[in-house]
Amino acid sequence: MAGELVLLDFWPSPFGMRSRIALAEKGIPYEYREEDLRNKSDLLLQMNPVHKKIPVLIHNGKPVCESVIQVQYIDEVWHDKAPLIPSDPYQRAVARFWVDFIDKKIYELGSKIWKTKGEEQANAKKEFIECLKLLEGELGDKTYFGGESLGYVDVALVPFYSWFYAYEKCGDFSIEAECPKMIAWVKRCMQKESVAKSLPDQEKVYEFILQLKKVFGIE
Amino acid sequence: MAVVKLFGAWLSPYCYRVIWALKLKGIAYEYIEEDLSNKSPLLLQYNPIHKKIPVLLHDDKPICESTVILRYIDEIRPQNPLLPADPHERAVALFWIKFADDKSPLISKLFRTDGEEQQAVAKECFEMLEVLEEHALIGGKKFFGGDEINMVDIAFCSVAHWLGVIEDFAGLKIFEPHKFPRLNSWIQNFKSVPVIKDNLPDTDKMLVLLKRRREILLASKSS
């Protein structure tokens, strides 16, 4: 069932981290291959010709593209270990709704926080915090979004934590001050080896962002 | 089966996605038309985050976002499956559904923009069609789903019907049959499927409404 499993990835990508966490949760061995996004490998271009993006999960030579699809695929194929997606159809629909919400909002707003200044940045920060508060509402008193164990929403959201320090420095604000419940949830997730080992150091991500800002000519 | 209700808007392709899925699965439902310029308190209660249609209500439990609804419908009524059973084939289908979800808003953007901005959107639409022609319909399949339509076909409904109407309205020519032979075949096949053919918004009515909406849009832009 395992076969040959390769993950084409880029270390700061929160999308790649999702697949890393899912694979680690299930204890599935795989080969991690770092891509240089300024010099994409032939394999990446061949396996994801439409978007030419990471992450790409290659299972027995066949590609699965898009991180949320990879997590679902991993959950289906290795369904006997650490299930991530609820079995009840309605709970599934709720989880999918929130993953869709995270995909529509968090990355884009976070990007605006480090890429822009002035009013545009202020609006992005405000909306970003509002989105985190909505997510806090969905979490409620649960240990994880998935209940007592990590679930689909947890895996989709927690990678962005590795970018929080960068957002805070660029945006001059504190996410913990605004959303303490969110940070408490993050800390619980980070106690899991699958999460802690899949997320890069926040300072490293911040340095990476500073380099990107230079390249893009953003102050 | 418990009570199923659908909050929709007759002009929305996302609403039709759900209607077709419900009909393909033989699920009886009550349809509630929403006036998008004056959304009902119920809609706002059932979809407080996005405040959009479609919303499916099953046994008083709301499900929002058309693709989430489609997957829910497919799971509660497994007959006539709308996704492949094989995990990898299913991952490929989901990839194209996500592509459809990401790109379909371009089509309505065509109608909401003009001048240079509209030209840029038209170019993006053209590129989307090129990707579909080159990558999605290989193998000479009748439908994305093979011999029968599936969720991928349903997801690309904007390309099949709404694009043509908006092109006519805006005087654009992005989709040319000779440039996109595979896509053209697919559109003809898709619109011939009885459940689709019998449940499409009337083109003339659409043009009337689009004209009115565009007038309002341009008026608000210049003021």
Q: What is the pLDDT of residues A176-205, one digit of tens each?
A: 999 999 999 999 999 999 999 999 999 999
- Identify whether residues A20 and A110 lie together within a single domain: no
Task: Dig out the tokens for A119 from the structure.
Answer: 């009013």
* pLDDT the model gives residue B20: 98
In a domain, A39, yes or no: yes
Are the beta carbons of B91 and A93 separated by less than 8 Å? no
- Which alpha helices (H) appear in chain A, and where do they start and end? 14-25, 42-47, 67-77, 89-115, 118-139, 152-157, 161-171, 175-178, 180-190, 193-196, 202-216
| Strand, coil or helix: A152 | helix
Question: Nearest-CA neighbor of B128 among B146, B155, B150, B102?
Answer: B102
- Identify whether residues A101 and A189 lie together within a single domain: yes
Q: Which CATH number fits the domain that encloses residue A43?
A: 3.40.30.10
Question: How would you classify the pairing of strands A5-9 and A31-34?
Answer: parallel
In a domain, A95, yes or no: yes
* pLDDT the model gives residue B75: 97
In a domain, A117, yes or no: yes
Q: Which CATH number fits the domain that encloses residue A125?
A: 1.20.1050.10
* pLDDT the model gives residue A218: 82
* pLDDT the model gives residue A193: 98
In a domain, A99, yes or no: yes
Are the beta carbons of A66 and B95 separated by less than 8 Å? yes
Q: Which residue of B61, B95, B135 is in closest CB contact with A90?
A: B61
* pLDDT the model gives residue A19: 98
In a domain, A207, yes or no: yes
Mind listing the domains of chain B with CATH numbers? 4-76 (3.40.30.10), 87-222 (1.20.1050.10)
* pLDDT the model gives residue B147: 93
Q: What is the DSSP letter of B85?
A: S
Q: Could you give the maximum distance between any two Cα atoms of chain A, in Å?
A: 52
Instruction: Identify the band that residue A2 occupies on the pLDDT scale cut at 50, 70 and 90.
Output: low
* Nearest residue in A to B135, CA atom: A50
Q: Which of A45, A47, A50 to mutate to test the interface with B (most CBs of B within 10 A)?
A: A50
Alpha carbon distance B190, B179 (integer Å): 19
* pLDDT the model gives residue B138: 81
Question: Residues, chain B, total?
Answer: 223
Are the beta carbons of A89 and B90 separated by less than 8 Å? no
Ranges of residues in chain B whose predicted pLDDT is under 50:
none
Question: Nearest-CA neighbor of B107 among B40, B176, B62, B159?
Answer: B159
> CB pairs below 8 Å between A and B: how many?
57
- Identify whether residues A154 and A200 lie together within a single domain: yes
Percentage of chain A exceeding pLDDT 70? 99
pLDDT at residue A99 tops 80: yes
- Identify whether residues A102 and A207 lie together within a single domain: yes
**How big, in percent rounded to 5, are the helix, strand and coil portions of chain B?**
60, 10, 35
Calculate mean pLDDT across residues A43-59.
98
Instruction: Identify the band that residue A217 occupies on the pLDDT scale cut at 50, 70 and 90.
Output: confident
- Identify whether residues A13 and A106 lie together within a single domain: no
Per the structure, the complete domain to which residue A13 belongs is given by 5-77
Interface of B with A (CB under 8 A): 49, 58, 61, 63-65, 67-69, 71-72, 75-76, 87-88, 90-91, 94-95, 98-99, 131, 135
pLDDT at residue A17 tops 70: yes
- Identify whether residues A53 and A124 lie together within a single domain: no
- Identify whether residues A95 and A70 lie together within a single domain: no
CA A41 to chain centre: 23
Question: Nearest-CA neighbor of B45 among B59, B57, B27, B58?
Answer: B57
Measured CA distances, B216 to B37, B74, B169, B219 (Å): 12, 39, 15, 5
* pLDDT the model gives residue B123: 97
- Identify whether residues A71 and A93 lie together within a single domain: no
* pLDDT the model gives residue B23: 97
Are the beta carbons of A96 and B71 separated by less than 8 Å? yes
In a domain, A84, yes or no: no
- Identify whether residues A124 and A47 lie together within a single domain: no
Task: Dig out the tokens for B167 from the structure.
Answer: 């092109």
HSE-CB of B50 using CA atoms within 13 angstroms: 16
Give pTM, 2 decimals.
0.96
Task: Dig out the tokens for B40 from the structure.
Answer: 């009902």
Structurally, how many domains does chain A consist of? 2
In a domain, A102, yes or no: yes
Residue that terminates a domain, selected from A49, A77, A105: A77
Torsion angle of alpha carbons B63, B65, B66, B70, nearest 10°? -50
SS (H, E, C) B143-198: ECCECCCCHHHHHCHHHHHHHHHHHHHHCCCCCCCCCCHHHHHHHHHHHHCHHHHC
Which residues in chain B touch residue A59, judged by CB atoms under 8 angstroms apart?
Answer: 88
* pLDDT the model gives residue B131: 96
- Quote the ipTM score: 0.95
In a domain, A106, yes or no: yes
Alpha carbon distance A162, A171 (integer Å): 15
Contacts of residue A11, Cβ cutoff 8 Å, sequence gap at least 6? A34, A200
* pLDDT the model gives residue B1: 59
Instruction: Identify the band that residue A47 occupies on the pLDDT scale cut at 50, 70 and 90.
Output: very high
Which residues in chain B touch residue A89, judged by CB atoms under 8 angstroms apart?
Answer: 72, 75-76
User: Strand pairing partners for B143?
Assistant: B146
